[in-house]
């Protein structure tokens, strides 16, 4: 998934950002945009960055990642507007997968090189896909997404479309098929299997999204890429997930519907899941599954585009590499995440209702490094120890649900889950504990969705608590609680379990801090018309916007903006003139201290 604009080179973050900022990035999509924002955020340039980046098979066998209570919600319950397909719900139940990057860049110390790796150098003589699968099981992953073709264009299956692939390397005298091997290993080990097949192809000359320079080249590449997809879609059984990193200009919908209709699709116009918006391993909170249809149809929406009242269900996937800062293996200069760091990622991804996809890359021998495997197992063992057996568990419907605890039991963590068959209904909740006949607040939150891990304060988990109560204080419809479970993990949660996360979106226009915003949206306004500014808090809630001033051509225009009816976090703008016009806006955000601002043309 790394691109020439993403994880290559030895520039500092700021140098890399400045270099990219000087170029015309308006046509760069997907992976390039998303990593650039991560770089810019680290360099303190989020607002500048966002402005510059304008511009069939059989149904897979899914396994539930948590026990299902016996109680079932009544069939007559109404659904909210957005709700998951059966395949989306089953995919979210998997909760965690393992990403596996392996390709020519593995022989280039994980980086892009001026000259591609000679095929004669690629000989993974110890390659063992059963080791890969066992590591995924140790990790706690329920599926593997293998990078069958990265942007260099090298193919790990015996494709008939190009000579740049496994048929022309020394390993097994060109008769091998790594995609087939890992597919078989996944089946033997009870894992689901997914593929990353890059639309970008440097060997052919197709840029991000598979976009070519001429119509003739585009037609030829579309034919090649569709043949490649047909090969992998028909040879390796049902796929749980397919990555079109950076979206794809090549028509793929008919192939998906014909050969892999149950697979989750990452990016592109047929996307059924989306990228969270950073590569650090953290989802924001709340991390809503709903999204407006217009945002979903861009094919590159992130969690920042979320709207709990949106009409489309588009769950978020958090991808992060165990080796920092690279996705491909290199022999030195990398830091492997620790068990504690992975636990922090788990609480801030799965614990916020998102999917976790942890990358563990193979080395030149074709093995996952021993250190990576050891850390993955330590992490997986600890997650299983903490959350395998609840002290008590219940389910139910309505705005209040009480969980009685066994006498003398100690609990330090609650795990909440909605039955998302009926949508994501909870908008705000309070968790309370009963001790000595008194109910006290243990924690509060907004989104629950597929899962919310809610640690309980240490002073309330001493063993005197006899019941836990979930009180839903705001909901879009009667809540349907799949599970309210209490656990005794015996340890404190990660110190940053509730920390905010910075994410990126294609329509990110700026941000605010200390309640105040002031920024230039000239480059984000492509034409005259009506626009919407939506304010997304990092924490807390927005209660209103005031002291707003809109400057157009250097003149204050109070008549060209207005609050969006019923939305205290939105402003509507009527922009006149052309893209050369200067457009600036400032004001004060009531409620949330800081956050990010999205701009959308209506």
Q: What was the pLDDT predicted at 460?
A: 80
Res 5 pLDDT > 50: no
Cα–Cα distance between 356 and 141 in angstroms, integer? 9
For residues 347 and 59, the model is more confident at 347
In DSSP terms, which residues pair with 574 in a beta bridge? Answer: 530
Least confidently predicted of 103-117, 178-192, 411-425, 506-520: 103-117
Mean pLDDT of 471-482: 97
Cα–Cα distance between 243 and 479 in angstroms, integer? 33
Cα–Cα distance between 13 and 5 in angstroms, integer? 12
In DSSP terms, which residues pair with 57 in a beta bridge? Answer: none
Residue 484 has a CB neighbour count (10 Å cut-off) of 24
Residue that the structure tokens 């009409």 belong to: 311
Q: What was the pLDDT predicted at 578?
A: 59
Mean pLDDT of 219-226: 98
User: pTM here?
Assistant: 0.87
Q: What was the pLDDT predicted at 523?
A: 86
Distances (CA, A) of 321 to 31, 100, 144, 305: 14, 9, 14, 24
Q: What was the pLDDT predicted at 79?
A: 56
Q: What was the pLDDT predicted at 459?
A: 85
Mean pLDDT of 450-462: 90
Res 258 pLDDT > 70: yes
Cα–Cα distance between 471 and 406 in angstroms, integer? 21
One DSSP character per residue, 116-151 reads: PPPGGG---TT--HHHHHHHHHHHT-SEEEEEEE-T
Res 598 pLDDT > 70: yes
Share of the chain above pLDDT 70, in %: 85
Least confidently predicted of 111-120, 214-223, 251-260: 111-120
Contact 315, 84 (CB under 8 A): yes
Res 509 pLDDT > 90: yes
Query: For residue 145, how many C-alpha atoms fall within 13 Å in the half-sphere facing its CB?
Result: 29
Tokens linked to 128: 């063992």
Tokens linked to 177: 């098929």
Q: What was the pLDDT predicted at 59?
A: 36
Mean pLDDT of 377-387: 98
Q: What was the pLDDT predicted at 461?
A: 67
Q: pLDDT tens digits, residue range 398-424? A: 999 999 999 989 999 999 999 999 999
Q: pLDDT tens digits, residue range 158-168? A: 999 999 999 99
Residue 12 has a CB neighbour count (10 Å cut-off) of 11
Three-state DSSP at 351 gives: helix
């Amino acid at each position: 998934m790394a691109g020439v604009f993403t994880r290559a080179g030895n520039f500092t973050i700021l140098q890399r950002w400045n270099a990219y900022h000087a170029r015309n990035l308006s046509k760069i999509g997907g992976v390039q945009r998303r990593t650039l924002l991560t770089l810019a955020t680290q360099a303190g340039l989020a607002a500048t960055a966002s402005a510059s980046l304008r511009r069939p098979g059989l149904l897979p066998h899914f396994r539930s990642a948590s026990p299902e209570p016996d109680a079932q919600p009544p069939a007559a319950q109404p659904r909210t507007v957005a709700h998951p397909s059966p395949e989306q719900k089953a995919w979210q139940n998997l909760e965690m997968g393992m990403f596996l990057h392996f390709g020519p860049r593995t022989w280039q110390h994980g980086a892009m090189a001026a000259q591609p790796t000679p095929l004669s150098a690629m000989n993974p003589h110890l390659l063992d896909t059963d080791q890969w699968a066992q590591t995924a099981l140790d990790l706690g992953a329920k599926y593997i997404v293998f990078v069958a073709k990265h942007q260099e264009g090298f193919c790990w299956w015996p494709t008939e479309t190009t000579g740049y692939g496994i048929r022309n390397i020394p390993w097994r005298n060109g008769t091998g098929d790594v995609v087939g091997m890992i597919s078989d290993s996944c089946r033997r080990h009870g894992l689901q299997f997914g593929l990353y097949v890059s639309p970008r192809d440097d060997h052919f000359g197709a840029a991000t999204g598979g976009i070519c320079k001429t119509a003739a080249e585009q037609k030829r590449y579309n034919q090649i890429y569709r043949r490649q997809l047909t090969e992998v879609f028909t040879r390796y059984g049902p796929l749980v997930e397919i990555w079109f990193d950076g979206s794809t200009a090549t028509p793929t919908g008919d192939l998906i519907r014909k050969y892999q209709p149950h697979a989750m699709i990452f990016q592109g116009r047929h996307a059924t899941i989306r990228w969270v918006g950073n590569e650090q391993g953290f989802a924001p909170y709340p991390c809503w599954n709903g999204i407006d249809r217009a945002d979903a149809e861009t094919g590159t929406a992130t969690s920042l585009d979320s709207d709990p009242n949106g009409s489309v269900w588009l769950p978020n996937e958090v991808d992060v590499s165990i080796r920092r800062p690279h996705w491909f293996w290199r022999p030195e200069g990398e830091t492997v995440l620790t068990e504690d760091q992975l636990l922090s990622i788990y609480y801030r991804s799965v614990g916020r209702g998102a999917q976790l996809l942890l990358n563990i890359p193979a080395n030149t021998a074709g093995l996952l490094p021993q250190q990576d495997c050891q850390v993955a197992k330590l992490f997986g063992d600890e997650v299983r120890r903490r959350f395998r057996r609840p002290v008590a568990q219940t389910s139910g419907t309505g705005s209040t649900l009480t969980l009685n605890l066994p006498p003398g039991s100690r609990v330090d963590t609650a795990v909440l889950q909605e039955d998302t068959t009926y949508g994501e209904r909870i908008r705000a909740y309070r968790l309370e504990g009963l001790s000595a006949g008194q109910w006290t607040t243990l924690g509060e939150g907004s989104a629950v969705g597929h899962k919310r891990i809610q640690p309980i304060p240490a002073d309330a988990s001493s063993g005197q608590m006899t019941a836990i109560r979930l009180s839903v204080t705001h909901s879009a419809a009667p809540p349907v609680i799949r599970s309210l479970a209490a656990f005794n993990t015996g340890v404190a949660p990660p110190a940053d379990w509730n920390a905010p996360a910075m994410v990126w979106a294609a329509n990110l226009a700026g941000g605010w801090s200390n309640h105040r915003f002031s920024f230039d949206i000239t480059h984000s306004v492509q034409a005259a018309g009506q626009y919407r500014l939506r304010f997304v808090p990092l924490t807390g809630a927005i209660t209103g916007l005031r002291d707003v001033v809109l400057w157009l051509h250097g003149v204050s225009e109070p008549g060209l903006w207005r609050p969006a009816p019923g939305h205290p976090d939105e402003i509507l703008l009527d922009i006149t003139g052309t893209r050369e016009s200067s457009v600036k806006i400032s004001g004060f955000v009531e409620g949330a201290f800081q956050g990010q601002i999205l701009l959308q043309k209506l």
